[in-house]
Amino acid sequence: MPILSQSNPQRARSRIPWVAAGVVTLLFGMVAAFGTVQNMPEPVFVKTVVESLALPAAPEDKNAGRIFFREDRFQRGDTISTLLERLEVDDQQAERLLRSREATHPFRLLRPGTTVQARTAEDGSLLSMWFIGGREQLISIEGAGEGFTTSEQPVELTRHIQMKSGEIKSSLFAATDDAGLSDNVAIQIADMFAGDIDFHRDLRRGDKFTVVYEMFDHLGRPVKSGRVLAAEFINQKKSYRAVWFQDKEGHGGYYTPEGKNLRKAFLRSPLEFSRITSGFAMRLHPILQKWRAHRGIDYGAPTGTRVKATSDGVVAFAGRQGGYGNMVVLRHGGGVTTVYGHLSRFANGIRKGTRVGQGEVVGFVGQTGLATGPHLHYEFRVNNQYRNPLTVAFPAARPVAPERIAAFRLVAEPLAARLDLLASTNLALLE
Ligand SMILES: [Zn+2]
Protein backbone atom coordinates (compact mmCIF):
# COMPACT_ATOMS: atom_id res chain seq x y z
CA MET A 1 0.00 0.00 0.00
CA PRO A 2 1.53 3.36 -0.90
CA ILE A 3 2.03 5.58 2.09
CA LEU A 4 2.19 9.34 1.87
CA SER A 5 4.81 10.26 4.39
CA GLN A 6 8.14 8.60 4.00
CA SER A 7 10.73 9.09 6.66
CA ASN A 8 12.47 5.95 5.53
CA PRO A 9 14.55 6.78 2.45
CA GLN A 10 14.36 3.18 1.27
CA ARG A 11 10.61 3.44 1.07
CA ALA A 12 10.69 6.98 -0.26
CA ARG A 13 12.48 5.74 -3.32
CA SER A 14 10.24 2.80 -4.02
CA ARG A 15 8.31 3.26 -7.21
CA ILE A 16 4.78 4.37 -6.56
CA PRO A 17 2.68 4.39 -9.70
CA TRP A 18 0.07 7.12 -9.42
CA VAL A 19 -2.25 8.63 -11.90
CA ALA A 20 -1.51 12.25 -11.22
CA ALA A 21 -4.98 13.75 -11.43
CA GLY A 22 -6.44 11.21 -9.08
CA VAL A 23 -3.67 11.75 -6.57
CA VAL A 24 -3.97 15.51 -6.54
CA THR A 25 -7.70 15.33 -5.95
CA LEU A 26 -7.19 12.96 -3.10
CA LEU A 27 -4.56 15.15 -1.47
CA PHE A 28 -6.71 18.23 -1.68
CA GLY A 29 -9.48 16.26 -0.05
CA MET A 30 -7.22 15.59 2.89
CA VAL A 31 -6.13 19.21 3.14
CA ALA A 32 -9.76 20.21 3.43
CA ALA A 33 -10.13 17.84 6.36
CA PHE A 34 -7.30 19.62 8.20
CA GLY A 35 -8.41 23.04 7.07
CA THR A 36 -11.13 23.41 9.68
CA VAL A 37 -8.68 24.42 12.39
CA GLN A 38 -8.22 28.17 12.35
CA ASN A 39 -7.40 31.03 14.74
CA MET A 40 -6.91 29.83 18.31
CA PRO A 41 -7.96 26.29 17.74
CA GLU A 42 -8.42 23.41 20.06
CA PRO A 43 -5.05 21.72 19.65
CA VAL A 44 -5.41 18.27 18.20
CA PHE A 45 -3.13 15.29 17.97
CA VAL A 46 -2.13 14.94 14.38
CA LYS A 47 1.30 13.48 14.91
CA THR A 48 0.61 10.30 13.03
CA VAL A 49 -2.22 11.32 10.75
CA VAL A 50 -0.08 12.04 7.72
CA GLU A 51 2.14 9.06 8.35
CA SER A 52 -0.69 6.56 8.59
CA LEU A 53 -2.66 7.80 5.63
CA ALA A 54 -2.83 4.98 3.15
CA LEU A 55 -3.92 5.78 -0.35
CA PRO A 56 -6.44 3.64 -2.13
CA ALA A 57 -5.10 2.14 -5.32
CA ALA A 58 -5.07 4.82 -7.97
CA PRO A 59 -7.44 4.16 -10.85
CA GLU A 60 -5.44 2.70 -13.71
CA ASP A 61 -5.70 4.63 -16.94
CA LYS A 62 -4.33 2.31 -19.60
CA ASN A 63 -3.82 5.08 -22.14
CA ALA A 64 -2.02 7.53 -19.90
CA GLY A 65 0.94 5.30 -19.11
CA ARG A 66 2.20 5.04 -15.60
CA ILE A 67 3.23 8.11 -13.67
CA PHE A 68 5.71 8.00 -10.82
CA PHE A 69 5.68 10.39 -7.92
CA ARG A 70 8.71 10.83 -5.71
CA GLU A 71 10.11 13.29 -3.29
CA ASP A 72 13.38 13.96 -1.57
CA ARG A 73 15.10 16.73 0.29
CA PHE A 74 17.62 18.98 -1.38
CA GLN A 75 20.58 18.60 0.96
CA ARG A 76 23.69 20.60 1.69
CA GLY A 77 26.30 19.61 -0.88
CA ASP A 78 23.64 18.49 -3.37
CA THR A 79 23.65 19.60 -6.97
CA ILE A 80 20.65 19.56 -9.25
CA SER A 81 22.12 16.42 -10.84
CA THR A 82 22.46 14.47 -7.57
CA LEU A 83 18.95 15.51 -6.56
CA LEU A 84 17.49 14.41 -9.91
CA GLU A 85 19.29 11.11 -9.57
CA ARG A 86 17.66 10.42 -6.21
CA LEU A 87 14.31 11.43 -7.64
CA GLU A 88 14.96 8.94 -10.46
CA VAL A 89 14.53 11.62 -13.08
CA ASP A 90 16.35 10.68 -16.26
CA ASP A 91 15.80 13.66 -18.55
CA GLN A 92 18.70 15.62 -20.06
CA GLN A 93 16.56 18.46 -21.34
CA ALA A 94 15.06 19.02 -17.90
CA GLU A 95 18.46 18.77 -16.27
CA ARG A 96 19.94 21.38 -18.62
CA LEU A 97 17.07 23.72 -17.89
CA LEU A 98 17.30 23.24 -14.12
CA ARG A 99 21.06 23.77 -14.11
CA SER A 100 20.89 27.05 -16.06
CA ARG A 101 22.24 29.97 -14.12
CA GLU A 102 19.89 32.57 -15.47
CA ALA A 103 19.04 35.11 -12.79
CA THR A 104 15.36 34.72 -13.49
CA HIS A 105 15.36 30.97 -13.12
CA PRO A 106 13.00 30.10 -10.26
CA PHE A 107 14.98 27.04 -9.16
CA ARG A 108 17.76 29.38 -8.01
CA LEU A 109 15.54 29.72 -4.89
CA LEU A 110 16.08 26.06 -4.00
CA ARG A 111 17.82 25.91 -0.62
CA PRO A 112 19.23 22.98 1.35
CA GLY A 113 16.57 21.39 3.52
CA THR A 114 13.77 21.97 1.03
CA THR A 115 11.59 19.04 0.01
CA VAL A 116 11.24 18.65 -3.73
CA GLN A 117 8.52 16.62 -5.42
CA ALA A 118 8.69 15.23 -8.93
CA ARG A 119 6.39 13.39 -11.32
CA THR A 120 7.99 11.32 -14.03
CA ALA A 121 6.90 9.00 -16.80
CA GLU A 122 7.96 5.36 -16.87
CA ASP A 123 11.10 6.12 -18.88
CA GLY A 124 12.24 8.69 -16.30
CA SER A 125 11.32 11.77 -18.34
CA LEU A 126 10.17 14.63 -16.18
CA LEU A 127 6.51 15.66 -16.21
CA SER A 128 6.65 18.21 -13.42
CA MET A 129 8.66 19.11 -10.38
CA TRP A 130 7.97 21.58 -7.60
CA PHE A 131 8.93 22.87 -4.18
CA ILE A 132 7.85 25.61 -1.79
CA GLY A 133 10.23 28.57 -1.76
CA GLY A 134 11.00 31.14 0.89
CA ARG A 135 7.98 33.42 0.64
CA GLU A 136 5.42 30.65 0.39
CA GLN A 137 5.70 30.48 -3.34
CA LEU A 138 5.04 27.26 -5.15
CA ILE A 139 7.88 27.00 -7.64
CA SER A 140 7.43 24.50 -10.40
CA ILE A 141 8.45 23.37 -13.83
CA GLU A 142 5.95 21.61 -15.99
CA GLY A 143 6.36 19.73 -19.25
CA ALA A 144 4.71 21.66 -22.09
CA GLY A 145 4.88 20.31 -25.63
CA GLU A 146 8.53 19.91 -26.56
CA GLY A 147 9.85 21.93 -23.63
CA PHE A 148 9.08 23.08 -20.12
CA THR A 149 7.46 26.09 -18.55
CA THR A 150 8.50 27.39 -15.16
CA SER A 151 6.22 29.19 -12.77
CA GLU A 152 6.13 30.83 -9.38
CA GLN A 153 2.79 31.19 -7.68
CA PRO A 154 1.63 31.77 -4.13
CA VAL A 155 0.51 28.67 -2.27
CA GLU A 156 -2.11 28.55 0.38
CA LEU A 157 -0.72 26.65 3.27
CA THR A 158 -3.08 24.86 5.58
CA ARG A 159 -2.43 25.44 9.25
CA HIS A 160 -3.02 22.90 11.94
CA ILE A 161 -1.81 22.34 15.45
CA GLN A 162 0.57 19.63 16.42
CA MET A 163 1.83 18.43 19.75
CA LYS A 164 4.96 16.50 20.63
CA SER A 165 7.10 15.69 23.59
CA GLY A 166 10.63 14.56 24.18
CA GLU A 167 13.29 13.86 26.72
CA ILE A 168 16.80 15.24 26.90
CA LYS A 169 19.39 12.51 26.58
CA SER A 170 22.36 14.36 25.15
CA SER A 171 21.21 17.78 23.91
CA LEU A 172 18.05 19.71 23.17
CA PHE A 173 18.60 19.34 19.43
CA ALA A 174 19.14 15.59 19.68
CA ALA A 175 15.84 15.40 21.58
CA THR A 176 13.95 17.57 19.09
CA ASP A 177 15.44 15.54 16.23
CA ASP A 178 14.16 12.36 17.88
CA ALA A 179 10.71 13.92 18.24
CA GLY A 180 10.73 15.02 14.59
CA LEU A 181 10.73 18.72 15.47
CA SER A 182 12.44 21.36 13.35
CA ASP A 183 15.29 23.56 14.57
CA ASN A 184 12.85 26.45 14.39
CA VAL A 185 10.77 24.86 17.17
CA ALA A 186 13.85 23.95 19.25
CA ILE A 187 15.08 27.55 19.17
CA GLN A 188 11.64 28.90 20.06
CA ILE A 189 11.57 26.60 23.10
CA ALA A 190 14.99 27.90 24.20
CA ASP A 191 13.95 31.52 23.61
CA MET A 192 10.61 31.36 25.40
CA PHE A 193 12.21 30.03 28.59
CA ALA A 194 15.37 32.15 28.24
CA GLY A 195 14.50 34.17 31.36
CA ASP A 196 14.34 31.04 33.53
CA ILE A 197 16.66 28.47 31.99
CA ASP A 198 20.19 28.86 30.68
CA PHE A 199 19.99 26.30 27.90
CA HIS A 200 23.78 26.22 27.69
CA ARG A 201 24.35 25.26 31.30
CA ASP A 202 21.17 24.20 33.06
CA LEU A 203 20.01 21.22 30.97
CA ARG A 204 20.28 17.79 32.49
CA ARG A 205 19.72 14.29 31.20
CA GLY A 206 16.10 13.37 31.90
CA ASP A 207 14.74 16.89 31.41
CA LYS A 208 11.48 16.71 29.48
CA PHE A 209 9.45 18.95 27.24
CA THR A 210 6.07 19.07 25.61
CA VAL A 211 5.34 21.49 22.83
CA VAL A 212 2.15 22.59 21.05
CA TYR A 213 2.91 24.36 17.80
CA GLU A 214 1.58 25.38 14.41
CA MET A 215 2.33 23.28 11.38
CA PHE A 216 1.71 24.32 7.81
CA ASP A 217 0.82 21.77 5.17
CA HIS A 218 0.80 21.90 1.44
CA LEU A 219 -0.92 19.05 -0.38
CA GLY A 220 -1.31 17.33 2.93
CA ARG A 221 2.39 17.33 3.68
CA PRO A 222 3.95 19.23 6.52
CA VAL A 223 6.16 21.83 4.84
CA LYS A 224 7.07 24.12 7.70
CA SER A 225 6.50 24.68 11.36
CA GLY A 226 5.21 27.97 12.71
CA ARG A 227 4.87 29.45 16.15
CA VAL A 228 5.04 27.53 19.38
CA LEU A 229 1.68 28.14 21.10
CA ALA A 230 2.38 26.41 24.39
CA ALA A 231 5.14 24.43 26.00
CA GLU A 232 6.20 22.82 29.20
CA PHE A 233 9.83 22.32 30.05
CA ILE A 234 10.80 20.23 33.06
CA ASN A 235 14.31 21.26 33.98
CA GLN A 236 15.99 19.54 36.92
CA LYS A 237 12.53 18.36 38.07
CA LYS A 238 11.11 21.88 38.05
CA SER A 239 8.26 22.53 35.62
CA TYR A 240 8.06 25.72 33.55
CA ARG A 241 4.99 26.36 31.44
CA ALA A 242 4.25 28.92 28.81
CA VAL A 243 1.35 29.86 26.55
CA TRP A 244 1.39 32.36 23.72
CA PHE A 245 -1.02 35.29 24.07
CA GLN A 246 -1.51 38.27 21.81
CA ASP A 247 -3.09 41.56 22.79
CA LYS A 248 -5.60 43.44 20.62
CA GLU A 249 -2.79 45.31 18.85
CA GLY A 250 -1.18 42.03 17.88
CA HIS A 251 1.74 42.21 20.33
CA GLY A 252 2.32 38.72 21.60
CA GLY A 253 4.33 37.12 24.32
CA TYR A 254 4.62 34.05 26.50
CA TYR A 255 2.89 33.83 29.85
CA THR A 256 2.48 31.18 32.50
CA PRO A 257 -1.02 29.62 32.42
CA GLU A 258 -1.75 31.89 35.43
CA GLY A 259 -0.93 35.03 33.42
CA LYS A 260 2.56 35.86 34.67
CA ASN A 261 4.95 37.12 32.05
CA LEU A 262 7.74 34.74 31.10
CA ARG A 263 9.94 37.58 29.95
CA LYS A 264 12.41 38.55 32.63
CA ALA A 265 14.50 41.67 33.06
CA PHE A 266 17.55 39.55 32.13
CA LEU A 267 18.19 36.56 29.92
CA ARG A 268 19.83 33.68 31.75
CA SER A 269 22.43 33.26 29.02
CA PRO A 270 24.14 35.88 26.85
CA LEU A 271 25.04 33.30 24.24
CA GLU A 272 22.97 32.73 21.15
CA PHE A 273 21.40 29.29 21.31
CA SER A 274 21.91 27.21 18.19
CA ARG A 275 22.61 23.66 17.12
CA ILE A 276 26.32 24.48 17.17
CA THR A 277 26.50 26.17 20.57
CA SER A 278 24.29 23.53 22.15
CA GLY A 279 26.71 20.81 21.11
CA PHE A 280 29.70 22.88 22.09
CA ALA A 281 28.74 24.29 25.43
CA MET A 282 26.04 22.18 26.96
CA ARG A 283 27.02 20.01 29.86
CA LEU A 284 24.81 17.26 31.13
CA HIS A 285 26.43 16.97 34.53
CA PRO A 286 26.71 19.52 37.30
CA ILE A 287 29.33 22.10 36.49
CA LEU A 288 32.13 23.02 38.79
CA GLN A 289 31.18 26.62 39.30
CA LYS A 290 34.35 28.50 39.92
CA TRP A 291 32.75 31.86 39.51
CA ARG A 292 33.44 32.85 43.10
CA ALA A 293 37.16 33.02 42.48
CA HIS A 294 36.74 33.85 38.86
CA ARG A 295 33.88 36.33 39.24
CA GLY A 296 32.28 35.41 35.99
CA ILE A 297 30.82 32.61 33.94
CA ASP A 298 32.69 31.17 30.98
CA TYR A 299 30.80 29.85 28.00
CA GLY A 300 32.83 27.75 25.57
CA ALA A 301 31.59 28.44 22.05
CA PRO A 302 33.00 28.61 18.54
CA THR A 303 34.59 31.90 17.46
CA GLY A 304 31.97 34.09 15.83
CA THR A 305 29.01 32.90 17.92
CA ARG A 306 26.68 35.83 18.58
CA VAL A 307 26.74 37.38 22.04
CA LYS A 308 23.52 39.05 23.17
CA ALA A 309 22.79 41.82 25.64
CA THR A 310 21.03 40.05 28.51
CA SER A 311 18.92 43.14 29.25
CA ASP A 312 18.08 46.60 27.91
CA GLY A 313 20.93 48.96 28.62
CA VAL A 314 23.51 51.48 27.47
CA VAL A 315 27.07 50.68 26.39
CA ALA A 316 29.38 52.01 29.12
CA PHE A 317 32.54 50.64 27.51
CA ALA A 318 33.46 48.90 24.26
CA GLY A 319 37.14 48.36 23.60
CA ARG A 320 40.24 46.49 24.55
CA GLN A 321 41.05 46.01 28.22
CA GLY A 322 43.93 43.80 29.44
CA GLY A 323 43.08 40.19 30.13
CA TYR A 324 39.46 40.72 29.05
CA GLY A 325 40.59 41.42 25.49
CA ASN A 326 37.78 42.99 23.50
CA MET A 327 35.18 43.80 26.10
CA VAL A 328 31.70 45.30 26.23
CA VAL A 329 30.26 46.67 29.47
CA LEU A 330 26.55 47.45 29.56
CA ARG A 331 24.87 49.60 32.20
CA HIS A 332 21.29 48.63 33.08
CA GLY A 333 18.77 49.99 35.56
CA GLY A 334 19.09 49.40 39.30
CA GLY A 335 22.88 49.65 39.42
CA VAL A 336 23.38 46.49 37.37
CA THR A 337 26.21 46.19 34.86
CA THR A 338 27.01 43.21 32.62
CA VAL A 339 30.41 42.45 31.12
CA TYR A 340 31.20 40.45 27.97
CA GLY A 341 34.88 39.56 27.46
CA HIS A 342 37.32 37.92 25.00
CA LEU A 343 35.19 39.00 22.01
CA SER A 344 36.62 38.49 18.53
CA ARG A 345 34.86 41.68 17.44
CA PHE A 346 32.04 44.05 18.27
CA ALA A 347 28.67 44.24 16.54
CA ASN A 348 28.10 47.20 14.25
CA GLY A 349 27.34 50.42 16.09
CA ILE A 350 28.42 49.16 19.52
CA ARG A 351 30.30 52.05 21.11
CA LYS A 352 30.11 54.06 24.31
CA GLY A 353 26.63 55.55 24.70
CA THR A 354 24.82 53.17 22.31
CA ARG A 355 21.44 51.95 23.58
CA VAL A 356 20.82 48.23 23.22
CA GLY A 357 17.72 46.14 23.74
CA GLN A 358 17.53 42.75 25.43
CA GLY A 359 18.69 40.05 23.04
CA GLU A 360 20.45 42.49 20.71
CA VAL A 361 23.85 41.32 19.47
CA VAL A 362 26.73 43.28 21.03
CA GLY A 363 29.64 41.20 19.72
CA PHE A 364 31.01 37.80 18.77
CA VAL A 365 32.81 35.10 20.71
CA GLY A 366 36.60 35.05 20.38
CA GLN A 367 39.73 34.52 22.45
CA THR A 368 41.23 37.99 22.76
CA GLY A 369 43.01 38.84 26.02
CA LEU A 370 43.91 36.05 28.43
CA ALA A 371 42.05 33.11 26.98
CA THR A 372 43.27 29.66 26.10
CA GLY A 373 40.42 28.93 23.69
CA PRO A 374 37.40 30.68 22.22
CA HIS A 375 34.91 31.45 24.94
CA LEU A 376 32.75 34.19 26.34
CA HIS A 377 33.48 35.56 29.78
CA TYR A 378 30.29 36.99 31.29
CA GLU A 379 29.94 38.97 34.51
CA PHE A 380 26.93 40.29 36.34
CA ARG A 381 27.53 43.07 38.86
CA VAL A 382 25.18 44.93 41.16
CA ASN A 383 26.61 48.24 42.44
CA ASN A 384 29.99 46.87 41.35
CA GLN A 385 29.62 43.73 43.48
CA TYR A 386 30.00 40.46 41.56
CA ARG A 387 26.90 38.28 41.60
CA ASN A 388 26.26 34.83 40.23
CA PRO A 389 24.04 35.34 37.17
CA LEU A 390 22.95 31.70 37.33
CA THR A 391 21.23 32.14 40.66
CA VAL A 392 20.28 35.80 40.99
CA ALA A 393 16.50 36.39 40.89
CA PHE A 394 15.32 38.49 37.98
CA PRO A 395 12.12 40.54 38.03
CA ALA A 396 9.49 39.57 35.43
CA ALA A 397 7.94 41.86 32.86
CA ARG A 398 4.32 42.90 33.36
CA PRO A 399 1.68 40.19 33.71
CA VAL A 400 -1.51 40.03 31.66
CA ALA A 401 -3.51 43.20 32.34
CA PRO A 402 -6.57 42.67 34.60
CA GLU A 403 -8.99 43.75 31.84
CA ARG A 404 -7.49 41.11 29.53
CA ILE A 405 -7.43 38.23 31.97
CA ALA A 406 -10.78 36.80 30.82
CA ALA A 407 -9.64 36.77 27.18
CA PHE A 408 -6.35 35.28 28.30
CA ARG A 409 -8.04 32.41 30.14
CA LEU A 410 -10.03 31.47 27.05
CA VAL A 411 -6.74 30.93 25.24
CA ALA A 412 -4.63 29.59 28.07
CA GLU A 413 -6.94 27.02 29.63
CA PRO A 414 -7.36 24.69 26.63
CA LEU A 415 -3.63 24.89 25.95
CA ALA A 416 -2.77 24.11 29.58
CA ALA A 417 -5.25 21.23 29.48
CA ARG A 418 -3.36 19.81 26.51
CA LEU A 419 -0.08 20.06 28.38
CA ASP A 420 -1.72 18.26 31.33
CA LEU A 421 -3.00 15.56 29.02
CA LEU A 422 0.40 14.80 27.59
CA ALA A 423 2.09 15.12 30.96
CA SER A 424 -0.23 12.45 32.39
CA THR A 425 0.26 10.27 29.30
CA ASN A 426 4.01 10.47 29.83
CA LEU A 427 3.64 9.55 33.49
CA ALA A 428 1.49 6.57 32.56
CA LEU A 429 4.13 5.44 30.09
CA LEU A 430 6.82 5.69 32.74
CA GLU A 431 4.90 3.58 35.23
ZN1 LIG B 1 36.23 33.93 32.38
How many A from CA of 231 to the centre of ligand 1? 33
How many A from CA of 386 to the centre of ligand 1? 13
How many A from CA of 237 to the centre of ligand 1? 29
Position 1 confidence tier, pLDDT thresholds 50, 70, 90: very low
Buried residues in 359-369 as b, exposed as e (16+ CB within 10 A): bbebbbbbbbb
How many A from CA of 323 to the centre of ligand 1? 10
Ranges 30-39, 130-139, 377-386: which has the least confidence:
30-39
Position 44 confidence tier, pLDDT thresholds 50, 70, 90: very low
CA distance 98 to 137: 17
Residue 119 or 222, more confident: 119
Using DSSP's 3-state secondary structure scheme, residue 239 falls into: strand
For 267-395, CATH gives 2.70.70.10
CA distance 295 to 290: 8
Average predicted confidence (pLDDT) for the chain: 78
Cβ atoms < 10 Å from Cβ of 112: 10
Position 318 confidence tier, pLDDT thresholds 50, 70, 90: very high
How many A from CA of 324 to the centre of ligand 1? 8
How many A from CA of 57 to the centre of ligand 1? 64
CA distance 226 to 413: 21
CA distance 317 to 279: 31
How many A from CA of 262 to the centre of ligand 1? 29
How many A from CA of 291 to the centre of ligand 1? 8
Residue 270 or 31, more confident: 270
How many A from CA of 183 to the centre of ligand 1? 29
Position 279 confidence tier, pLDDT thresholds 50, 70, 90: low
The CATH architecture assigned to 9-154 reads Roll (3.10)
Do 9-154 and 267-395 agree at the fold level?
Answer: no
Residue 162 confidence (pLDDT) above 50: yes
**pLDDT reported for residue 286:** 34
Residue 355 confidence (pLDDT) above 90: yes
How many A from CA of 330 to the centre of ligand 1? 17
Position 373 confidence tier, pLDDT thresholds 50, 70, 90: confident
How many A from CA of 335 to the centre of ligand 1? 22
Which amino acid type is present at position 394? F
How many A from CA of 368 to the centre of ligand 1? 12
How many A from CA of 375 to the centre of ligand 1? 8
How many A from CA of 351 to the centre of ligand 1? 22
Residue 131 or 188, more confident: 188
How many A from CA of 327 to the centre of ligand 1? 12
How many A from CA of 192 to the centre of ligand 1? 27
How many A from CA of 199 to the centre of ligand 1? 18
pLDDT digits (tens, 9 = 90+) for 215-233: 887 767 666 788 999 999 9
Q: Where are the domains of the chain?
A: 9-154, 267-395
Our measurement of the distance from residue 89's CA atom to the centroid of its chain's CA atoms, rounded to an integer in Å, reads 31
Position 310 confidence tier, pLDDT thresholds 50, 70, 90: very high
Identify the burial level of 316 via C-beta atoms within 10 angstroms of its C-beta, where 0-12 means exposed, 13-18 middle and 19 or more buried.
Answer: middle
The mean pLDDT of 228-256, rounded to a whole number, is: 92
